Structure 1
Amino acid sequence: DLTHEDKVVWLEDPAELDYVRQALDKTPRRRGKPRYHRDGRMIGFAELSDSAEADPDSGLQKRRVFYLLPHDRDAEPNGL
Structure 2
Amino acid sequence: MKSLFSKVQHELLVTYANWLLEKEHSGCRALLRDDKVEDLSRMYRLYCKIPRGLELVANVFKQHVTAEGTALVQQAKDAVSNYVNFVVGHL
Q: Normalising to structure 1: TM-score of the pair?
A: 0.30
Relative contact order, higher structure (CA 8 A, sep 6+): 1
Question: Quick check: which one's strand share is greater?
Answer: 1
For the pair shown, the structure with the greater C-alpha radius of gyration is: 2
Question: Quick check: which one's helix share is greater?
Answer: 2
